[in-house]
């Protein structure tokens, strides 16, 4: 990221809104915005090998592993406004497990980018599947989007739920239902993500 170009872009934007970039309260705003953008898009400079750091271990364990309520913060690529919420990740080991702290780090690696929640959900599931080769991966994300709250429809109580189910979580309704039950999701959300429990045959995510 070219900091000077970023600072100049912010000055232009301030001017176009009718503000004076030289007034006291705004003099350091371009610098602050450039620093913030570096941090909020730091995921582009991260790579999976460094994040995982060989923290994959052979373990004789085949039951579901869940890390839930992982806070995430990201930027909507359409409006550059924040969206944030919680991410829940589960996998079925195939003789190998990953250090538990690495799962939130993988979530952060992809969330600290310009994103849409649907792609973010898939990327987390796919990278965990790639590095672990488990029997299955399930990811559910609940996000509040400021592009919906501050502009557009301005619906203050709305949030988005996305899911990605791979392997055993996609193919086995009981495994999927166990995951959603362990998350203690509301009945309406569980029906949406697990339609077979309501007599339907579709699959979300």
Query: Over the stretch 133-177, which tens digit does the pLDDT of each residue have?
Result: 999 999 999 999 998 888 766 666 778 999 999 999 999 999 999
pTM: predicted TM-score of the whole model, two decimal places: 0.85
Catalytic residues: 76-79, 117, 145, 147
Residue range(s) in the chain whose domain bears CATH number 3.30.1130.10: 47-198
Residue 186 pLDDT level (bands cut at 50, 70, 90) = very low
User: Could you tell me which residues come within 8 angstroms of residue 1 by beta carbon, excluding any fewer than 6 positions away?
Assistant: 34, 37, 38, 41
47-198: CATH architecture: 2-Layer Sandwich (3.30)
> How confident is the model over 6-44, as pLDDT tens digits?
999 999 999 999 999 999 999 999 999 999 999 999 999
For the chain, how big is the Rg over CA atoms in Å?
Answer: 20
pLDDT at position 201: 44
14: left (phi over 0), alpha (psi -120 to 50) or beta: alpha
Sheet containing 114-115, strands listed edge to edge, beginning at the edge strand earlier in sequence: 114-115, 65-76, 82-92, 136-145, 160-167
Comparing C-alpha atoms, which of 56, 52, 51, 63 is closest to residue 97?
56
Residue 187 pLDDT level (bands cut at 50, 70, 90) = very low
């Amino acid at each position: 990221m070219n900091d000077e170009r970023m600072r100049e872009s912010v000055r232009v934007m301030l001017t176009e809104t009718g503000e004076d970039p030289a007034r006291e309260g705004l003099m350091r705003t371009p610098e602050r915005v450039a620093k913030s953008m570096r941090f909020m898009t730091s995921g582009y400079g991260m790579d999976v090998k460094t994040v995982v750091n060989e923290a994959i271990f052979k373990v004789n364990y085949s039951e579901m592993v869940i890390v839930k309520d992982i806070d995430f913060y990201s930027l909507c690529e359409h409006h550059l406004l924040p969206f944030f919420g919680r991410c829940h990740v589960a996998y079925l080991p195939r003789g190998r497990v990953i250090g538990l702290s690495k799962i939130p780090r993988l979530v952060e690696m992809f969330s600290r980018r310009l994103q849409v929640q649907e792609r973010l959900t898939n990327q987390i599931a796919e990278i965990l599947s790639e590095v672990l080769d488990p029997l299955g991966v399930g990811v559910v994300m609940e996000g509040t989007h400021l592009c919906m709250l501050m502009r557009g429809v301005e619906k203050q109580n709305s949030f988005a739920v996305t899911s990605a189910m791979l392997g055993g979580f996609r193919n086995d309704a009981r495994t999927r239902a166990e995951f959603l039950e362990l998350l203690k999701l509301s009945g309406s959300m569980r029906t949406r993500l697990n339609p077979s429990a309501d007599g339907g045959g579709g699959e979300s995510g």
